[in-house]
Structure 1
Amino acid sequence: MLNFKQAFSTSSKLAKAIKPAVRSTRHSKDVESMDKNIPFEKPQKAWERAGESKDDYFRSRFSHVHAKQKQNDPAERRKSYETIRKTRASNYKRERYNDRQQHKQKFARDVYRGLTPNPLSEYVYGSSAVLAALKANKREIFNKLFIHNPKEMNSEIIKLATQLGVETNMVDSRSQLNQLTSNAIHNGYVLETKPLLPTPIFKLGTVSDGSYTIDEDNYGDVLEQTYTTTNKNPLGIYLDGITDPHNIGAIIRSAYFLGADFIVMSEKNCAPLSPAVAKTSVGAMELIPIFTADKPLTFFDKSRANGWTFVSAAVADHHREDKIARSLEQKSVEFEELSQLLESGPCMLVLGSEGDGIRTTLKVRSDFLVEIKPAAGVSSLVDSLNVSVAGALLMQKLLQ
């Protein structure tokens, strides 16, 4: 008889298909715990009970312990010493630097502090130039006189300034005057004024009984002016192409000192009458008549037609054209013969720049050419004189 064993198991596949009677919200992998259902009180940290952050709590209570440990550590002591030493050295350097800066500021010459130059004005400097400008009173206006600790207090300058209604200011710093004069030597006197403008002219007129006429340019019209001379005949100085203001100032000084009557400048190629010219001329620029000619060739021709003799300080030579060279050679006159020329009639001494000299067109229109020859054995490196020195020698010879 067959025996059958009764089985009450189900297959695994069928078991998985059986659904629970109650749906659970937890996943099968989650661990079931009853902690959430058991009352639990989390203990507070010490710093939480104190109401502080963890860092502040330990720093306030245990920093001294750490400091003592560091203090007892030789390496930490050396590190602390080095920090203190560097701090002290840095503070010392900073203090010394501040002391030096204060010392420099105390004795500094600040050229930008104080007076500011007026671009519409001119600043005549030097006691002689300022005094001459006030005495001559040729300028349009005098604004202010600045004085700073002069070596010699010139009461005449202050007196004239007061008479002319010029405001006088005593300044505290020499650097203030240096700023007005571009650091030139001013001797403690600076006069703010308008530029001295030379009179434009057309030609030189006739000469008669110690007087002569000059046709001035009065805004396009001819204005004939009469001048007198203390010489037997008048002597004028013509400047062509001289751009160095110191040379012009020295020539003006010599001309006034030696007795020349007036000066004519080429309008387009000569340095203007500036404070540097006034300073170099020691004020003579204010005292001698100065004119300009804008058409030199016409000025030469028309003045010669009225009896004026033109003598140019130049070598009678021309490197390019033989015809011009021969013409210039015929005009050559010896230095010793110059005094005879002024005896015969009025003269104009023509001076040119040291580099280019007098223009050929003016030399051709001159009556005579004269040169000052060097002594025997003089090196070729020194082949000429400064134009102001040569001009003074020629003036002196003409006026003998």
Structure 2
Amino acid sequence: MARHKRGNRDGSPSRPRLWGRHAVAAALDNPARRVLKAWATHEGAAAMQFPPGLALTIADGADLGRLVPNDAPHQGVVIETEPLEDIWLGDILSEAGERSVVLVLDQVTDPHNVGAILRSAAAFGAAGIVTQDRHSPPESGALAKAASGALERVPWARVVNLARALDEIAEAGFWRIGLAGEAAMDLKDALGPPRVALVLGAEGPGMRQNTREHCDALARLPIAAEVESLNVSNAAAVALYAASIG
């Protein structure tokens, strides 16, 4: 899996550094996550359930601040981990229920947006998210903090070719709906089949043409004319809610 270089305050691609109590607690609770070391204030350590044997350093808040990017809200806890094991798209599709939603992100690269989308995916019970490995952010503290624990709970498949992945999603019985502001159809009218893949593009350029061609329908969110568009993470949350009640 391709991974991008990060500054040493965010750990490294092979040893991402996570912070914030929700993100850290979720990582500690995840049996699939290997935590290598931890730093915490006395208050932060008291709020966590660090496993016996984990290398834990007690430090003050300023010292922890030097372990994370500038102004990162570490909330008194920082851990260094191994990245999660790769998840295969086929596993997500085979384990999805008869009524399921999968999110497909086309070149959404901002870690805060992807983290927020993971959080919404967890809130609405999505089966998983799918991204292209070369055009998506790696695991990081910023992403995990925005996900508020959902990075550990929502299956995330990184694929080499998004068009081929959309073909595989269709073969698994998912109706693929691409969200596009200029589409003639509202999302509620495009919904119907019990298995749905919601496809979202990056802010600005939106979905690439080849991605659009691999959707069964294009639909828009019916927002006020005075608002040009929604942030991609907000659009994902609205679309997930619509799909959950559609």
Partner of 2:188: 336
Choose from 189, 195, 202 the match for 2:77.
Answer: 189
Partner AA of 2:36 in structure 1:
N
Partner of 1:34: none
Partner of 1:162: 51
Shift of 1:315: 3.4
Partner of 2:5: none
- The reply on whether 1:251 has 2:117 as its aligned counterpart is yes
Shift of 1:295: 1.1
Q: Give the ranges of 4+ consecutive aligned residues of structure 1 lying more than 6 Å apart after TM superposition.
A: none
* Larger of the two Rg values belongs to structure: 1
User: What TM-score results when the alignment is normalised by the length of structure 1?
Assistant: 0.55
Cα distance in 2 for partners of 1:197, 1:272 equals 13
Partner of 2:105: 239
Cα distance in 2 for partners of 1:346, 1:118 equals 38
Cα distance in 1 for partners of 2:158, 2:77 equals 29
Shift of 1:233: 1.1
Q: Equivalences for 1:59-74 in 2 at 5 Å? A: none
- The reply on whether 1:144 has 2:31 as its aligned counterpart is no
Structure 2: where are the runs of 5+ without partners?
A: 1-8
Cα distance in 2 for partners of 1:242, 1:118 equals 22
Cα distance in 2 for partners of 1:307, 1:353 equals 25
Deviation per residue, 1:349-391 (Å, 9 max, x gap): 1111111111111111100111123325x2xxx4111111111
Residues 260 and 118 from structure 1, CA distance in 2 versus in 1: closer, same or farther, beyond 3 angstroms?
closer
| Aligned-residue CA RMSD (Å) | 2.3
- The reply on whether 1:134 has 2:28 as its aligned counterpart is yes
Residues 307 and 162 from structure 1, CA distance in 2 versus in 1: closer, same or farther, beyond 3 angstroms?
closer
Shift of 1:214: 4.8
Cα pair 2:38 2:77 within 8 Å, conserved? yes
Choose from 362, 376, 388 the match for 2:211.
Answer: 362
Partner of 2:230: 385
Residues 182 and 235 from structure 1, CA distance in 2 versus in 1: closer, same or farther, beyond 3 angstroms?
same
Cα pair 1:263 1:290 within 8 Å, conserved? yes
Deviation per residue, 1:107-134 (Å, 9 max, x gap): xxxxxxxxx9865522110010000001
- The reply on whether 1:397 has 2:234 as its aligned counterpart is no
Cα pair 1:315 1:369 within 8 Å, conserved? no
Structure 1: where are the runs of 5+ without partners?
A: 1-115, 205-212, 216-225, 317-328
Cα distance in 1 for partners of 2:10, 2:224 equals 48
Structure with the bigger percentage of helix: 1
Partner of 2:3: none
User: What TM-score results when the alignment is normalised by the length of structure 2?
Assistant: 0.86
SS at 1:399 equivalent: helix
Q: How many residues align?
A: 235
Cα pair 2:92 2:127 within 8 Å, conserved? no
Cα distance in 2 for partners of 1:302, 1:135 equals 32
Choose from 138, 143, 167 the match for 1:272.
Answer: 138
Considering Cα pairs closer than 8 Å and 6+ residues apart, tell me whether 1 or 2 has the greater RCO.
2
Residues 347 and 168 from structure 1, CA distance in 2 versus in 1: closer, same or farther, beyond 3 angstroms?
same
